[in-house]
Amino acid sequence: MDFRLSAADEDFQTSLLQFLGEELPPGWEGRGRWAEDDDWDFTKSLRKKLADKGWLTMHWPEEYGGQGVSPVRSALFNEEMSYNRAPGRDIFGVRMLAPTLMIYGTEEQKKEFLLPVAKGEVQWCQGYSEPGSGSDLASLQTRAVADGDDYVINGSKIWTTMAHRADWIMLLARTDTDAPKHRGISFILVDMKTPGVTVQPVHNMTGGHDFNQVFLDNVRVPKRNLVGEENRGWYVGVTLLDFERSGIDYSAISRRILSDVTEHVKNTRANGKTLASDTRVRNLLIDRYIESETARLLAYGVAWMQGEGMVPNKEASMSKVFGSETLQRVTGSCLEILGLYGQLRDGEAWAPIRGRVPEDWMHSFSHTVAAGTSEVQRNIIASRGLGLPRG
């Protein structure tokens, strides 16, 4: 592939950066993908403006209200939003649920659920993991029992990002307890306002509130909200995971951190010299920059393959595992460069770069777990990419 942007993509990048320059407050220091909860009203306002421009769903097919642009331009949009730590995206609705519905959903489901996502009017969340089912997702125990025209759902989901803000949740539930564990699972859409749904916050070690545990107690859901066939939801759910896995956000976050730290070392003196004059510091920054650029190109390679009509299954896993692990290495090296001061958090005196680096370092570990652990990704690469037998 040709990694250079087309003239049209460069024009779009210019328009997007101009828009962000006008819309983001001066000195904006949001947290990026999950900056939504920093100021929910601002997030919703910016999301509506992005939707009005058609940018939220520009990669959707025109028949569903999109612009049919290339996946490369969509990757460019996500990259610039992440690099500028801009809120407004709903990755669950736009990038995960919608393309899955386009494949498996009924015409009624597409009409009901796609338009509100495109207009930026709804927040979705994903109900996959459970307290006893993470990487071994097929062992999930949440039950959905048929009762007339409804399912009655009981169970709980955990690590449910943005559930406290969500209007709807897409979840996997077991509809046949006698079937093998990868069978007997169904993919169901649930209104979060349904009686019996409660949300309990799960605060992470950075003090942030992205995660939640969702409890479902005799939650009654109409059967028309079943996506795909009953007991065949595992295949729907796996398809959604392929849409979730991408390395572009990881590389964009990494490059922004490196940019911030590079500026810091240029302007910080120790023992009469700038930190940037230290060969060890320069080598660390150079090595991490090369890795971040490699992660970026892997992600664009996935987008290019999608635009060519190919299914980048193993390539998406390669991008995800390399990108997420690169982010860990970047934040770890930046902590090393900043030294003891680098451990200080935002609000503490002498904290460099507003204490962002230790927070990003702590948060980076979740990226190698979410959307499938690094071990799961390597198994996919080994089996589907290299044809190796299962151990």
Angle between helices 71-83 and 279-307 (to 10 degrees): 150
- Residue 2 belongs to some domain of the structure: no
- Residue 105 belongs to some domain of the structure: no
Q: What is the pLDDT of residue 246?
A: 62
What confidence tens digit (pLDDT) does each residue in 21-37 have? 999 998 887 764 444 45
Helix (H) or strand (E) holding 155: strand 150-157
Question: Could you count the other beta carbons within 10 Å of the beta carbon of residue 71?
Answer: 18
- Residue 223 belongs to some domain of the structure: yes
Percent of the chain topping pLDDT 70: 96
Question: Could you count the other beta carbons within 10 Å of the beta carbon of residue 81?
Answer: 24
The alpha carbon of 317 is separated from its chain's Cα centroid by a whole number of angstroms, namely 14
* 209 plus 308 within the same structural domain: no
* 376 plus 255 within the same structural domain: yes
Catalytic annotation present for 308:
no
- The residue that leads in pLDDT, 386 or 225, is 225
Is residue 289's pLDDT more than 90? yes
Q: What is the pLDDT of residue 35?
A: 47
* 254 plus 326 within the same structural domain: yes
What confidence tens digit (pLDDT) does each residue in 198-232 have? 999 998 777 778 899 999 999 999 999 999 999 99
* 160 plus 222 within the same structural domain: yes
Q: What is the pLDDT of residue 34?
A: 47
For β-strands 185-191 and 273-274, DSSP reports them as unpaired
* 304 plus 339 within the same structural domain: yes
Domain span at residue 218 reads: 125-231
Q: What is the pLDDT of residue 236?
A: 92
d(CA 210, CA 214): 13
Task: Tell me the CATH number at 193.
Answer: 2.40.110.10
SS3 216: strand
Number of domains in the chain: 3
Buried b / exposed e over 97-122, threshold 16 CB at 10 Å, is: bbbbbeebbeeebeeebbebbbebeb
Question: Could you count the other beta carbons within 10 Å of the beta carbon of residue 159?
Answer: 22
Task: Tell me the CATH number at 56.
Answer: 1.10.540.10
Catalytic residue among 36, 79, 80, 244: 244
* 138 plus 189 within the same structural domain: yes
Q: Which of 65, 89, 113 is the last residue of a domain?
A: 89
What confidence tens digit (pLDDT) does each residue in 290-319 have? 999 999 999 999 989 888 888 788 998 999
Q: Which of 231, 258, 292 is the last residue of a domain?
A: 231
* 148 plus 213 within the same structural domain: yes
- Residue 315 belongs to some domain of the structure: yes
Q: Give residue 181's pLDDT band: very low, low, confident or very high (50, 70, 90).
A: confident
* 218 plus 269 within the same structural domain: no
* 226 plus 250 within the same structural domain: no
d(CA 68, CA 55): 11
* pTM, full prediction: 0.88
